[in-house]
Structure 1
Amino acid sequence: MDKLSFLNGIAWIAVFISLLLAFFLFTVKTENKLANRLFAFFFILSAIDLSGFFFYEFIEEQLDIEVFRWTTCLLGMPLFYLFVLAVCYSDFQLKWKHLLHGFPFILVNLIFLPRFYLAGEIEKIQFFKVHNQMPEMLFFHAIVEFQYVFYIVGVFLILRKYKELYLENYANTSFSTYVWLFQMTSVFLIAHIVVILKTLLRYTDYNNTFIWANVLVGSIALLITCWFIMKALNHPELFRGINSKLKLTKDILPESTTKNDSENIQNDLIQTQIHALRDYMTEKEPYLDQSLTIQELANQINIPVRDLSVLINHHIDQHFFDFVNEYRIQKAMHILKDASKKELTVLEILYEVGFNSKSSFNTSFKKYTNLTPTAYRNS
């Protein structure tokens, strides 16, 4: 009984925090309202799911509500998937086609309809007592697991493309959107694996272990919820999205052109463009702008952004992100070697050369020099 009381206490706290975070996301002022609202609805569904630890105590005679509550978990991952799209792409909008994500939820409830929702009270009670052995529940669990894998893979694919597009088109070193979403998705995956292991205990003789596994899952859910709150409070703007209409260089290259071809057939025009670009980067120092994008650079040197993307990402064989940061690092190296600027701190230097994060500056600097900025200065 003490274990159940402890578990219920954790569940109550987790539900309260989830609803509190949903309220915060609904009311916080931000440009990306759609992403906030999708995430808020996700947390409301999480609260409904977590309420399962104590919800049944209040609706013992309303089994329909309890079974319907079970099926709402099928809306969680679609909402998270749409939330990731809304965060990654600033021009993302909900469309009628996105209602198709609710099909598994509708399908499962239709399957429960004949032998549960439309059944008499006695049949419902009998169904509920042995629900884990019923074909409808086995199908429901199979759909949940299949859907989870489908959306987790889908989210990781979105993040991979987002990262590639970001590296090819942006030079802002604050990469928080990708890092945060990747961490969050990874945490979801780990938590779900724990839930699967916990569920397997239900079909064994380790009933006592199953109860403690519930306590563990409840504690993990509470910790994850608290972690999300801290992230949301520290980053209320939910980071910077990119344009979904951007294309990867490999997708806009002519089909007959391969990397080896471009290396072997470097015409005078390409070489001239590369030299002109490098001269402009050295003389005008556009990389000092922390938020420089490939579109802005293309406007400055009067070249179509499509051509500039191919020139940098394909012919120079560097991501735009790395191409720009190389100039920033070279500028930082020059300042660090300058004896007249010894009074400048590393933090002042990184801001001066276009970085906006100490961690990203140290990582990039070590990548190019195999030394930390401080070690380079001392050497």
Structure 2
Amino acid sequence: MLKTIQIIALIQGLFVLFILLFNRKVYKKTTFWLLFGSLLSVLLYLIGDDKNNLFIQNTDWFFFDNTLFITFLFLFFRYYKSGEEKFTKIDCLFFLPNVLYFILEIIEIQLLAENLIVEIFEIITELSFIVYLSTILYSILSGKKKLWVIYFVVPIAILFIFSFINDILTIVGLSELPLFTDQNFKTYLLLIVAFLFYFIAFKLLNNDSEIVPKIEISKYKNSNLNSELINKYKADLINAMEIDKLYLNGKLSIQDVSDKLTIPRQYISEVLNEHMNTSFQDFINEYRVEEFINRLKSDQNNHFTLLGIATEVGFNSKSSFNAIFKKFKGLTPTQFKKNLLKIG
């Protein structure tokens, strides 16, 4: 039965890897290779870990270990959440527990028997992988968005922790947990892995970008803007706000700014969106919020209501002003004023 599940999961896994490789150019590079490495390490585990070798009976290829999968998954999740596209070399340090674990396995093989000291060091090393899994689970459960990894991280975490407990019980000379013996653990894990591969294949075939973030194709890829013009337009836009204070006009539009600065409207959008990482409305609203705060701090405006000051700096309604202010400052205008009074 176990070998049948191994073969099914292996075929599904190879199919998933083929789909990923075939479409690799549309995915973000770092998250793609981390997921690929994670799934490949699972396949290696399926083939030959702990005497369940698929091809050579009773042979333990110790380096095909499930902890490698956990490390790859941990790093994949870090980049998935952060959105960063370039892998940093410092993150290679997260593989140190894997290297140590492999070294301990080599020592154990050289000794031709299980050694208590080596086993204890293995337990200590396994704590790193429990930390990795716990970090992933905490980030998912504490976030607003429940990511797809939750569906198999939870059962894998449970199984890995029970396996960890079993190892401790074995070291201290107690019996293993009946439901989580070494053989049962592998059967459960293989069933989860088989479902995981089926789930990912289904998502990929439906062109779901939830599995691996796709590369965003810029709508400005055919732009004629060069670096010199970009820097000039950025400076012009900033000066228009900081010196000319165009944002004080509550009806200011992107066309108004285009006419004032003699910059084509599409170039203003491109500079703001692509090179200043903001939108036109956020760009002017941020200046309005800062101007509101400056005027709120001034004694000359004590006779004005909050809405009165907001109207003076370019906001057109109370609801939009409150929403925009909280977006940038994390507080409502009233809460912000109360904090100012406490400080004062």
What TM-score range do you get, normalising by the shorter chain? 0.5 to 0.7
Q: CA deviation at 1:193?
A: 0.4
Any idea what the Cα deviations from partners look like across 1:273-332, whole Å, max 9, x if unmatched?
79938x98xxxxxxxxxxx9xx65964348357557889798632589xxxxxxxxxxxx
Distance 1:215 1:226 in 2: 17
- Which of 183, 188, 191 is the matching residue for 2:148? 183
Any idea what the Cα deviations from partners look like across 1:2-46, whole Å, max 9, x if unmatched?
xxxx11211221122123212221221414233222211110101
1:35-184 mapped onto 2 (5 Å cutoff): 35-51=31-47, 52=49, 54-55=52-53, 58=56, 60=58, 66-70=61-65, 73-113=66-106, 115-116=107-108, 119=110, 123-124=111-112, 127=113, 131=114, 134-153=116-135, 156-157=138-139, 178-179=145-146, 182-184=147-149
Any idea what the Cα deviations from partners look like across 1:189-227, whole Å, max 9, x if unmatched?
233203433565675366687345543332222112211
Higher helix share: 1
Q: Please tell me the residue identity of whatever aligns with 1:96.
A: K
1:292-371 mapped onto 2 (5 Å cutoff): 299-301=279-281, 303=283, 307=287, 316-318=325-327
Does 2:2 correspond to 1:7?
A: yes
Matched positions, count: 245
Q: Percent same amino acid among aligned pairs?
A: 13
Q: CA RMSD in A?
A: 4.6
Deviant stretches of 4+, over 6 Å: 158-161, 272-275, 308-315
- Which of 17, 21, 26 is the matching residue for 2:12? 17
Any idea what the Cα deviations from partners look like across 1:124-176, whole Å, max 9, x if unmatched?
2xx1xxx3x63323322332233232354157548968x6xxxxxxxxxxxxx
> TM-score by structure 1 length?
0.50
Distance 2:248 2:138 in 1: 34
SS of the equivalent of 1:68 reads coil
SS of the equivalent of 1:276 reads coil
Indicate how the Cα distance of structure 1 residues 226 and 101 shifts in structure 2: closer, same or farther if over 3 A, else same: same
Where does the alignment leave 5 or more consecutive residues of structure 1 unmatched? 1-5, 164-177, 243-271, 281-291, 321-379
Paired residues of 1:39 and 1:79 also in contact (CA < 8 A): yes
Q: CA deviation at 1:58?
A: 0.9
Q: Please tell me the residue identity of whatever aligns with 1:317.
A: K
Q: Which has the higher contact order (CA 8 A, sep 6+)?
A: 1
The structure whose Rg is larger is 2
Any idea what the Cα deviations from partners look like across 1:72-97, whole Å, max 9, x if unmatched?
x3332332233234434554201322
Where does the alignment leave 5 or more consecutive residues of structure 2 unmatched? 217-245, 254-268, 293-320, 330-344
Distance 2:249 2:285 in 1: 17
SS of the equivalent of 2:26 reads coil
Distance 2:95 2:68 in 1: 6
Indicate how the Cα distance of structure 1 residues 196 and 87 shifts in structure 2: closer, same or farther if over 3 A, else same: closer
Match of 2:194 in 1: 222
- Which of 30, 37, 48 is the matching residue for 1:34? 30
Deviation larger for 185-194 or 297-306: 297-306
Distance 1:19 1:318 in 2: 45
Indicate how the Cα distance of structure 1 residues 231 and 67 shifts in structure 2: closer, same or farther if over 3 A, else same: same
